[in-house]
């Protein structure tokens, strides 16, 4: 696998966002400022609650197919490789990892079978777009922790995706879950979310390495990042963290991650979280506490290591 120097671009874009001049300018800045050669686009699927059995991907909350296809072509024109990662979220704000149903069907209760039928429809819709637009990778979702024990359904889903999309297929499991999945053999690439504490990278990489060796598959971090908020380097997965702005802490976290990973040749890339389609003004970077790295010290760290890899 070619090394991935990636960034997630415009996660969960709403309808109309990719039609803007700002979105294309932002993507150009992403490439120039970070040295990235790869982006992940994340079309949004929505279900009402973790126990809903219907997934919508045609509302105003989701970028249109036409916009998505146009943005993929624009990224390719910029010589960026593109991955599609259609991802489902819950309208009530519950994290998607908690989507869950009874393991045994119960009359009048929501069922895994109905949910997986809706999820398969959602995934195959975008797998067809990935095939049509020659996307370089397809990821069959992100951080669906409670569903991952449903091995048979996931194997069937990956097989169905491969009947539509001819490129490499991955799945983005959550942090700490890499060694819980039993069906890595059916994907082409193992990937996970690398939101690990600054002082814990070596331990986690040791654990993940055993998984990579067991399945003998390429591996990359399909997500990784840290907010520029004080305390985030020790709890980088906590997007609800609030506190003082600390740009240095974010930059230090990225340095620690890259330094730890560059010693592990089996780590074949990163896709950082994330880069907005409409950026805050550069003069506001010092007051921005989110995951964005635009015009923060972490941006220079990313550029340094992406130029190095």
Q: What confidence category does residue 69 fall into, taking pLDDT thresholds of 50, 70 and 90?
A: very high
User: Which residues, 6 or more positions from 32, have their beta carbon under 8 angstroms from its beta carbon?
Assistant: none
Mean pLDDT (whole number) for 22-51: 98
Helix H or strand E encompassing 6: strand 4-9
**What 8-state DSSP symbol labels residue 63?**
-
- H/E segment holding residue 82: strand 81-84
Q: What is the mean pLDDT of residues 224-249?
A: 97
Give the residue-averaged pLDDT of 113-125: 98
For helices 65-77 and 112-132, the axis angle rounded to 10 degrees is: 40
Query: Which pair of structure tokens corresponds to residue 195?
Result: 């939101």
What ranges do the domains of the chain cover? Answer: 4-308
Whether the CB-CB separation of 7 and 36 falls below 8 Å is answered with yes
- Mean pLDDT, residues 120-148: 98
Q: What is the pLDDT of residue 93?
A: 96
C-alpha to C-alpha distance for 308 and 5, rounded to whole angstroms: 10
| pLDDT for residue 55 | 98
CA distance 85 to 156: 18
Look at the alpha carbons of 302, 304, 307, 309 in this order and tell me if their dihedral is positive or negative: negative
Closest CA to 46 of 55, 38, 37, 59: 55
pLDDT in tens, 148-194: 999 999 999 999 999 999 999 999 999 999 999 999 999 999 999 99
Q: What is the pLDDT of residues 248-306, one digit of tens each?
A: 999 999 999 999 999 999 999 999 999 999 999 999 999 999 999 999 999 999 999 99
| In CATH, 4-308 is 3.40.630.10 | no
Q: How far is CA 22 from CA 75, 102, 283, 285, 290, in A?
A: 14, 45, 17, 17, 20
Task: Look at strands 169-173 and 189-193 and give their pairing.
Answer: parallel
Q: Distance between CA atoms of 246 and 250, rounded to whole angstroms?
A: 7
How high is the pLDDT of residue 9? 98
| Mean pLDDT within 122-140 | 98
288: phi then psi, degrees, rounded to nearest 5: -105, 120
Tell which residue, 127, 161, 114, has the closest CA to residue 43.
Answer: 127
DSSP 8-state symbol, 153: H
């Amino acid at each position: 696998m070619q090394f991935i120097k990636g960034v997630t671009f415009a996660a969960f874009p709403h309808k109309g966002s990719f039609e803007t001049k700002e979105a294309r300018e932002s993507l150009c800045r992403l490439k120039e400022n970070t040295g990235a050669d790869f982006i992940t686009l994340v079309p949004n699927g929505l279900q009402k609650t973790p126990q809903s059995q219907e997934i919508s991907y045609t509302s105003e909350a989701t970028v249109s197919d036409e916009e998505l296809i146009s943005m993929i072509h624009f990224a390719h024109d910029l010589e960026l490789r593109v991955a599609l990662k259609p991802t489902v979220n819950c309208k009530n704000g519950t994290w998607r990892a908690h989507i869950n149903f009874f393991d045994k069907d119960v009359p009048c209760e929501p069922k895994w079978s109905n949910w997986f039928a809706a999820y398969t429809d959602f995934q195959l819709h975008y797998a067809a777009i990935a095939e049509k637009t020659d996307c370089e990778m397809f990821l069959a979702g992100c951080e669906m922790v409670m569903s991952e024990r449903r091995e048979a359904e996931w194997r069937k889903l990956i097989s169905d995706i491969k009947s539509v999309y001819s490129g490499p297929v991955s799945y983005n499991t959550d942090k700490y879950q890499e060694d819980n999945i039993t069906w890595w053999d059916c994907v082409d690439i193992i990937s996970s979310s690398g939101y690990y504490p600054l002082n814990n990278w070596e331990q986690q990489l040791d654990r993940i390495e055993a998984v990579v060796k067991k399945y003998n598959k390429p591996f990359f971090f399909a997500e990784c990042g840290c907010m520029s908020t004080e305390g985030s380097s020790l709890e980088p997965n906590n997007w609800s963290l609030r506190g003082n702005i600390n740009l240095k802490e974010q930059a230090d976290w990225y340095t620690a991650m890259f330094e730890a990973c560059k010693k592990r040749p089996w780590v074949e890339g990163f896709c950082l979280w994330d880069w907005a389609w409409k950026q805050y003004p550069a003069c506001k970077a010092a007051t921005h506490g989110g995951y964005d790295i635009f015009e923060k010290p972490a941006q220079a760290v990313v550029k340094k290591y992406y130029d190095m890899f």
